[in-house]
Structure 1
Amino acid sequence: MAPSDQSRHSLVPGFLYSSKIQSHLSNNTNHGLPLLPSSSSIASYSSSSSLPVQGGAKSPVILSPQEKIRLFSPAYYAACSAGGVFSCGLTHMAVTPLDLVKCNMQIDPVKYKNITSGFGVLLKEQGAKGFFRGWVPTLLGYSAQGACKFGFYEFFKKYYSDLAGPENAVKYKTIIYLAGSASAEVIADIALCPMEAVKVRVQTQPGFARGLSDGLPKFIKAEGASGLYKGIVPLWGRQIPYTMMKFASFETVVEMIYKNVIPVPKEKCSKNKQLGVSFAAGYIAGVLCAVVSHPADNLVSFLNNAKGATIGDAVKKIGVVGLFTRGLPLRIVMIGTLTGAQWGLYDSFKVFVGLPTTGGSAPAPVK
């Protein structure tokens, strides 16, 4: 193959797509390395394959049913980013009341002793409307974070797989999941940090501001524009381990469910069953995420609430044990539900635009 022809193809690690496609691609290799086929070859394969029938039509794995979205193309990453906006923005906004109580329990555990009393105090002092205080920066911040988190995860997962090569990509796929999610989260938190800073200040300091429109100018006036990123290091400390656990454990649990619980391959499962697997695996991943990232979450809440505070001040005030335990039960419930819903919504969006759900295709043996 001439270099100009070779440059039009990409190496596709086996665990990124269906094992049926891998078997098909093994007959079309360049020096033993599988290539991403052209639209015409995929269309030809789709029409003759035994993949599940959806709505009376064959459902190709690499391309959407409309054959408009090609895996690993700019349109594919754009679709994944849009799915991230849809899943993260809406879910975080929906759990704003839980997040509000959690943040206040972390800042003032004497006043907000537990979940029940926390909701009672907020209802008494601020009324029912107070439960959604800070919902605008929550929606905007986590929508931006979701776009970067999911879009760049898909990008880095493919990028690192290409660097490793097909054999190593399959052998070290968990490391690739971890590296890809960590890289994506570094970018995602830069997008999230300003809105997170305003959100915490609005939620934990009554009378500071009604929301984003007046809270952002007040915050910048008090802390300066650079103050919006005062919590970036602890935010990375919270979100990077969280996201590494979120994606790597999700991918692993999905694969385990299809291997040990469901007696048929993923490709033969209905879309509804696949989405059920996504939610279940997401919930399990969310519980693990909450435990891993909780100490840093306490630090973020403390630093964004107290002007001029340092990490040392937070550890001294909260205590080492408190960093791991304060507000943890509520956060497990919140993050478990949140993460399960996010994966369900994300994969629902992918199905809606004609893409396969995430994970679960067993890799073919490397020869």
Structure 2
Amino acid sequence: MFQSPLFAQLNRPSASAGTSASYPIRAPLEAAKSGPQGIDLYSRFALAGAIGCAITHGALTPVDVVKTRIQLEPEVYNKGMITAFRQVVAKEGSGALLTGFGPTAMGYFIQGAFKFGGYELFKKQIIDIVGYETARENRTAVYLGASAIAEFFADIALCPLEATRIRLVSQPGFATGLVGGFTKIAKQEGLGGFYAGFGPILFKQVPYTMAKFAVFEVAFEQLVKATGKPKEALSSGTITTLNLTGGVIAGLAAAFISQPADTLLSKINKTQAKPGETTTGRLISMARQLGVKGLFGGLGARFVMIGTLTAGQFAIYGDIKKALGATQGVDIAK
């Protein structure tokens, strides 16, 4: 146990020992009796999330490159995702599909740690405040609140690397990689260059993450019910399959909700702001120019990307948590 008052909330049991008598899911106190606890437990959640996000986002860099090109140059890449892939390769070579791989993998490693670790932490904090039974009866609100807070902090860490990635993808020849691109933006534009897209990234990522976690939790709960067995009775393979299925459902919902903000984020990070031009003014102008159709440009590619990576993230996250012995998270599903 951690003695510092900073960790008091992490060490505090979240429910009475009698909870497991009524529900098949392990109660928080029961789960806390064995395995890692406190900061040790949440650091394992963070590591599992970091690995899952880095692997999935890194692997889907080619799809992200094509999606970004469709958003930024719809007049050129306007014949669908497959044709856009061919256009990029024909024009710039196959290596162009890996543009931005460095900042993508690094950025989402950091963001995944904050997102998944933070989600588990803030979920527990909310449950401690309102009580286990109240949280269980209002679990969707708990999922939404915890994910929103976690994503806010995750975006502070992600924004500079996402700005670098978009600049590398949108301006071929801008720099040779993560270090070169990051350094060039820092020298030419300072801190403001990295956080010009902070508003759009919040507008994109917070609703995206809220939908991602809330829809996944609900979908996973219903999928478990459909098996006719309690979660504890399901095999590891079945759990992984349910994680994948729930992740696909969550990914599609999250992709649709956050698509307009994703398009604006790509646009605003493509070029440097003009003197006297505000971020809000730029966003409003871009939204007017794009219209509804333009804001949803590249949605097909993003459905493929987000559906795939979200499924992969939850599957990898679940498996790594188990491998790390981090199975003591608070579960409020019925």
Give TM-score, length-normalised by structure 2: 0.88
Contact 2:61/2:101 (8 A) holds in 1 = yes
Whole-Å Cα distance in 1 between the matches of residues 158 and 28 of structure 2?
36
Q: How does 1:183-222 map to 2 (within 5 A)?
A: 183-222=149-188
Q: Which runs of 5 or more residues in structure 1 are unaligned? A: 1-6, 15-19, 27-33, 38-60
Question: For residue 133 of structure 1, what is the amino acid of its counterpart?
Answer: T
- Give 1:285's aligned residue: 250
Are 1:10 and 2:12 counterparts? yes
Distance 2:297 2:28 in 1: 50
Q: Is the deviation greater in 241-250 or in 166-175? A: 166-175
Q: Look up the match of 2:29.
A: 36
Matched, 1:69 2:40: no
Which residue number corresponds to residue 313 of structure 1? 285
Indicate if the aligned counterparts of 1:241 and 1:293 stay in contact, CA closer than 8 A: yes
Quote the Cα distance in structure 1 between the aligned partners of 2:134 and 2:202: 28
Q: Matched residues in 1 for 2:201 and 2:18: separation?
A: 39
Following superposition, the deviation at residue 361 of structure 1 comes to 6.8
CA distance in 1, matches of 2:326, 2:333: 18
Quote the Cα distance in structure 1 between the aligned partners of 2:73 and 2:54.
27
Give distance in 2, aligned partners of 1:255 and 1:263. 11
Distance, in Å, in 1 between the alignment partners of 2:18 and 2:105 is: 38
Q: Distance in 1 between matches of 2:43 and 2:88?
A: 40
User: Whose helix proportion is higher, 1 or 2?
Assistant: 2
Within 1, Cα distance between the matches of 2:291 and 2:329?
39
Deviations 1:243-276 (A, max 9, x none): 00010111111111111x2011111011111111
1:105-138 CA distance string (max 9 Å, x none)? 0000111112122111211122111110110000
In structure 1, give the amino acid aligned to 2:70: M
Alpha-carbon offset, residue 104 of structure 1: 0.7
CA distance in 2, matches of 1:167, 1:124: 58
CA distances 1:166-197 after superposition (whole Å, capped 9, x unpaired)? 23111211101100000000000000000000
Q: Structure 1 residue runs of 4+, over 3 Å off? A: 355-363
Which residue pairs with 1:22 in the alignment?
Answer: 19
Q: Tell me, in whole angstroms, the C-alpha distance in 2 between the residues paired with 1:253 and 1:243.
A: 15
Partners of 1:181 and 1:138 in 2: how far apart?
21
Structure 1 or 2, whichever has the larger Rg, is: 1
Q: Secondary structure at the match of 1:245?
A: helix
Task: Describe the superposition over 1:275-331 as per-residue Cα deviations: whole angstroms up to 9, x where unpaired.
Answer: 1111110111000000000000001000000221710221132123321x2111110
CA distance in 2, matches of 1:35, 1:80: 16
C-alpha distance in 1 between matches for 2:149 and 2:246: 22
Cα offset, 1:150, TM superposition: 0.4
Q: Distance in 2 between matches of 1:95 and 1:213?
A: 21
| Alignment match, 2:278 | none
Aligned to 2:309: 338
Structure 1 residue 110 corresponds to structure 2 residue 75: yes
Q: Could you tell me the TM-score, scaled by structure 1's length?
A: 0.81
Q: 1:21 to 1:304 in 2, by over 3 A?
A: farther
Contact 1:13–1:169 under 8 Å retained in 2:
no
Q: Indicate if the aligned counterparts of 1:347 and 1:358 stay in contact, CA closer than 8 A.
A: no
| Kept in 2: contact 1:243–1:289 (CA 8 A) | yes
SS at match of 1:207: coil
The Cα of 1:345 is off from its aligned counterpart by: 0.4
Equivalence for 1:42: none
Q: Residue type of the partner of 2:36?
A: I
Report the 3-state secondary structure (helix = DSSP H, G, I; strand = E; otherwise coil) of the residue aligned with 1:150. helix
Aligned positions, number: 315
Worse-matched range after superposition: 165-174 or 95-104: 165-174
| 2:120 aligns with one of 144, 154, 160 | 154
Alignment counterpart, residue 129 of structure 2, candidates 163, 180, 203: 163
C-alpha separation in 2, matches of 1:104 and 1:211: 18
Q: What is the CA–CA distance in structure 2 between the aligned matches of 1:154 and 1:164, rounded to whole Å?
A: 16
What is the CA RMSD across the aligned residues, in angstroms? Answer: 2.3
Amino acid at match of 2:29: L
Identity %: 37
Match of 1:17 in 2: none
Q: Which residue of 1 aligns with 2:260?
A: 295
CA distance in 1, matches of 2:306, 2:15: 31
- Matched-pair contact (CA < 8 Å) for 1:351–1:357: no
Partner SS for 2:29: coil
1:84-123 to 2 correspondences below 5 Å: 84-113=49-78, 114-123=80-89
Structure with higher RCO (Cα < 8 A, 6+ apart):
2
Contact 1:160 1:176 in 2 (8 A): yes
2:145 to 174, 179, 184: 179
